[in-house]
Amino acid sequence: MNRPLLLCCCIIGYLLPCLAQKQLPSYGVLKQLINKERPDTAEMHILLDAGYTYVLRPGTARSDMDSATLLAEKVLTSSLRSKDKIWEGQSCLLYSQIFREQNILMKGKAYAIRARDIFEKYRKKDYLADTYIELANYYGQRAPEDIDIRISYYKDAIKLYKEAGLKEQQAHTLYVLGDHYNVIDDYKSLTEALEQSVALYDEIKIDPGADVYSLLGTGYNLLGDFGNALKYSLLAVKSIELVKDITSTHATVYNRLGILYYYMGEHQDALKYYHKAWQVSLKLNDTPTLRTLAFNIGNSYAKMKMPEKALAVMRDVEHSYPTTDSTEKIWVYIFIAGCHLDLKQHLAALPYIRRAQKGRDQLPEILQVTLDDVEARYYLQNGEYMKSYQLALNVIAAGIKMKNLNLQSNAYLALFRADSAMGNYKEAVEQFRNYKIVNDSIFQISRLRQISTLQVQFETQQKQQSIELLTRTSQLQEAALDKAHLTRNVIIAGAAMLAIMLTLVYNRYKLKLRSNRKLEHKQEEINQKNHSLEHLITTQNKLLVEKEWLVKEIHHRVKNNLQIVMSLLNTQAAFLDDKDALNAIRESRYRMQAISLIHQKLYQSENMALIDMHTYILDLVEYLKDGFSDVSKTRFELQISHVKLDVSQSVPIGLILNEAITNAIKYAFKPDGNAIITISLQETSPGQLTLTIADNGVGLPPEDDHQPRKISMGMMLMNTLAEQLDGTLNIRNRNGVVITVTFKYHEQQTFPVPEELAAVPDYVLTKRAASLRPFLLIIYILHSVARAAADWPLPHLPV
């Protein structure tokens, strides 16, 4: 009853790993790509992957095949249009799989051959390997000649994957090749292929997976190498138990480990894993696997002398998991009949023997011989010894032909019992002797197989130890030689380094002496220059302090001179009766006061280059308020930023403010009105200021086309001052008069360095010294004031 175990190994072990299906792009994306005239490379990959996804779906649904065909046709037409032979080959490969799935084998194989020719011509090793695997699928899995062709294709694919450096594909194909060796019982080639597969997976840091480990364990099991068989089978169990989802692989792995324990004689452990596989198959509702497991469980119970349990299992399978396959049915009948015979229930076995005999002619030879063996046992228990005797002889002949010692052993035992029952004791002794010889042969073969395996392992270990010893000896010798060479080289290098170091030390000593002499000489020069420089800096600082005071004195003198001019104008005004002259003198006095305030701020400030416009405008407004007797009812609203400007910008701003405020006080308001003058100086954008003077008075008189508005001297002066600021002047009516001046500003004006200071180092020209520069304009400003007092328009200030 050992043959079902091998059949189980074939049925469950032949399951190949399924390719993972990629997620399909959306219908809209695929439709857009199909309608696109020239898809790019990435889009061609999407079309091809989608085609394979449809093909690899379970079954051969018409919709899936039509979709895959449409995608393959798009890839093919696009490749023909672009004359890209590689894409043409890939589309042919997809077509081949589509037609093969639909069992249109001739057409599918033609496409595969076309793809092969393209990839061979253009030496695309990876795609050519895929094509060889596709061609292998056109040959069956039963006929020996078909298996040989499939194996040849897989070997070619493995070679190409290796040359292309695709180690993962090479490892997987080696696993599939090993599965084919399992079908033809070439277990040595199986283990060699799968060992290579495991080594490649380890090299690329990928877990080989339970399928590889389990099949490799099966190969070693059937070679009698139980140590390696158990090692890889347990690795397979460990691998699947890390997977949360239960699959048919779990049943395969548990079943194969159970078979291994069966061959090792550990029937309790075998039953343990058979039952685990049974539970998995129950969850998956996998009836064929359940029937196979029932055979294995029954065999284990039979070996444990528990035929009643074996019978219970097979009856459960017969009723709960019936099969339509005639061969499987006969297996069940033969097994149940054997269990009844083990229980000495030959009459109960007879119906099952008769059922099995009905399909005898369609059975494989092994099943026919097994049925004869069961019938011989039945006739023996039923007392029909001659019939039993004849069937046993037939079984022995078939067993010798098939080299099946188990069948021969059972048949010789039946002959011994038949001869004994018929009183042929001499023949019975001869049959028993034959029985013992065959049994001993079975045991001997098993022992020889184990001893051979152990011998090979021992010799391999001996060779490995010898190689390791030779390698270690060689390494020690090489290490000794390297050490001697290293010692010699170190001594030579040390002597050379010592000589070089002594030479360098002496050279450095001489250089140091020379450098010290130079440094001493340089130090003397530096000390002299430092002394001269300190004297120069002291003198320059003294000059700068004197210049500071001189500048302050200049500002003070300018302010005093302006005050004298204003006093003279006041004195002159006392002797004048002309109202216009008095107004002109008063306006000139205000203008000079605006300039005088600037110079007063300069000599009172630490920074003699910049004027704080906030305090300056406040002081100017206060002065103008004090200068008019009727200004007590006028309210001033000030919005002045704390910005600092140099003299060249402060003077025009002060004069513009003077003109605008005096005009507003004199002409803008009615005697009983609520007078408000708003003054604003704000930064409207980076580097730009806007000066606004607004009142809520009567505003400007409307223009008359027949009589244009007369331009006053004040307006001309403000316009000229705005141009001097490089700004724009705007005067408009808005509930009164609004005057705005917009101009660029800079807080620090730069001036050319005088020739007498050109030779002075830059660090001497400090910020305080730079404040002297604006006074190049002082003479020009005084001249401007005098001309303004005489009602002359100011010329443009030179840039």
Higher per-residue pLDDT: 363 or 284: 284
Q: Which CATH number belongs to the domain containing residue 320 in this structure?
A: 1.25.40
List b or e across 238-257, with b for residues whose CB sees 16 or more CB atoms inside 10 angstroms.
Answer: ebbeeeeeeeebbbbbbbbb
pLDDT of residue 791: 39
Report d(CA 341, CA 377) in Å as an integer.
7
Instruction: Tell me which of 122, 151, 173 is where a domain ends.
Output: 122
Q: Which of the four pLDDT bands, split at 50, 70 and 90, describes residue 13?
A: very low
Asked if pLDDT for residue 459 goes beyond 90, the answer is no
pLDDT of residue 442: 57
The strand pair at 676-685 and 644-646 is best described as unpaired
Q: What's the number of domains the chain is made of?
A: 4
pLDDT of residue 11: 32
Asked if pLDDT for residue 313 goes beyond 90, the answer is no
Q: Which CATH number belongs to the domain containing residue 130 in this structure?
A: 1.25.40.10
Q: Does residue 183 belong to any structural domain of this protein? A: yes
Mean pLDDT along residues 369-381 = 82
Which residues are registered as beta bridge partners of 636? 677
- 573 and 484: one domain? yes
Q: Does residue 645 belong to any structural domain of this protein? A: yes
Asked if pLDDT for residue 24 goes beyond 80, the answer is no
Mean pLDDT along residues 419-439 = 76
Instruction: Tell me which of 68, 91, 122 is where a domain ends.
Output: 122
pLDDT of residue 598: 76
Question: Which range has the worst mean pLDDT, 357-366, 641-650, 763-772?
Answer: 763-772
Q: Does residue 40 belong to any structural domain of this protein? A: yes
Question: Pick from 402, 400, 430: which is nearest to 415 by CA?
Answer: 430
Asked if pLDDT for residue 581 goes beyond 90, the answer is no
Q: Which of the four pLDDT bands, split at 50, 70 and 90, describes residue 729?
A: very high
- 69 and 114: one domain? yes
* pTM of this structure: 0.51
Asked if pLDDT for residue 518 goes beyond 50, the answer is yes
- 105 and 128: one domain? no
Question: Which range has the worst mean pLDDT, 81-85, 270-274, 697-701?
Answer: 697-701
pLDDT of residue 131: 94
pLDDT of residue 690: 95
Q: What is the pLDDT of residues 431-451, one digit of tens each?
A: 777 777 776 665 555 554 555
Radius of gyration of the chain (CA): 58
Q: What is the pLDDT of residues 103-134, one digit of tens each?
A: 899 999 999 999 999 999 999 999 999 999 99
Q: Which CATH number belongs to the domain containing residue 787 in this structure?
A: 3.30.565.10
Mean pLDDT along residues 236-264 = 89
Question: Which range has the worst mean pLDDT, 349-363, 507-521, 633-647?
Answer: 349-363
Q: Does residue 460 belong to any structural domain of this protein? A: no
- 506 and 544: one domain? yes
DSSP summary character for residue 760: S
Asked if pLDDT for residue 778 goes beyond 50, the answer is no
- 302 and 176: one domain? no
Q: What is the pLDDT of residues 705-728, one digit of tens each?
A: 555 556 677 788 888 889 988 999
Asked if pLDDT for residue 680 goes beyond 80, the answer is yes
- 501 and 518: one domain? yes
Mean pLDDT along residues 223-233 = 89
Q: Which residue has the tokens 């003299």?
A: 647
Asked if pLDDT for residue 770 goes beyond 50, the answer is no
Q: What is the pLDDT of residues 155-189, one digit of tens each?
A: 999 999 999 999 999 999 999 999 999 988 898 99
Q: What is the mean pLDDT of the chain?
A: 79
- 572 and 628: one domain? yes
pLDDT of residue 768: 38
pLDDT of residue 714: 77
Q: Which of the four pLDDT bands, split at 50, 70 and 90, describes residue 452?
A: low
Q: Does residue 157 belong to any structural domain of this protein? A: yes
C-alpha distances out from residue 314 to 12, 299, 333, 363, 711, Å: 19, 10, 9, 20, 127
Report d(CA 611, CA 604) in Å as an integer.
10
Q: Does residue 69 belong to any structural domain of this protein? A: yes
Question: Which range has the worst mean pLDDT, 171-185, 604-618, 630-644?
Answer: 604-618
Q: What is the pLDDT of residues 535-578, one digit of tens each?
A: 888 888 877 776 776 666 676 667 677 777 777 777 777 777 77
Whether 535 and 764 have beta carbons less than 8 Å apart is answered as no
Report d(CA 483, CA 523) in Å as an integer.
55
- 519 and 633: one domain? yes
List b or e across 32-52, with b for residues whose CB sees 16 or more CB atoms inside 10 angstroms.
Answer: ebeeeeebeeebbebbbbbbb
Instruction: Tell me which of 152, 173, 206 is where a domain ends.
Output: 206
Mean pLDDT along residues 741-754 = 63
pLDDT of residue 774: 40
Higher per-residue pLDDT: 679 or 441: 679
Return the half-sphere exposure (C-beta side, CA atoms, 13 A cut-off) of residue 144. Answer: 3
- 787 and 677: one domain? yes
Asked if pLDDT for residue 668 goes beyond 60, the answer is yes
- 504 and 651: one domain? yes
Q: Which of the four pLDDT bands, split at 50, 70 and 90, describes residue 612?
A: confident
pLDDT of residue 208: 92
Higher per-residue pLDDT: 421 or 495: 495
Q: Does residue 171 belong to any structural domain of this protein? A: yes
Mean pLDDT along residues 208-216 = 92
- 558 and 632: one domain? yes
- 143 and 95: one domain? no
pLDDT of residue 711: 67
Asked if pLDDT for residue 273 goes beyond 90, the answer is yes
Which residues are registered as beta bridge partners of 692? 680, 740
Host domain of residue 184: 123-206
Residues ≥6 apart with Cβ < 8 Å to 490: none
Q: Does residue 70 belong to any structural domain of this protein? A: yes
pLDDT of residue 447: 53
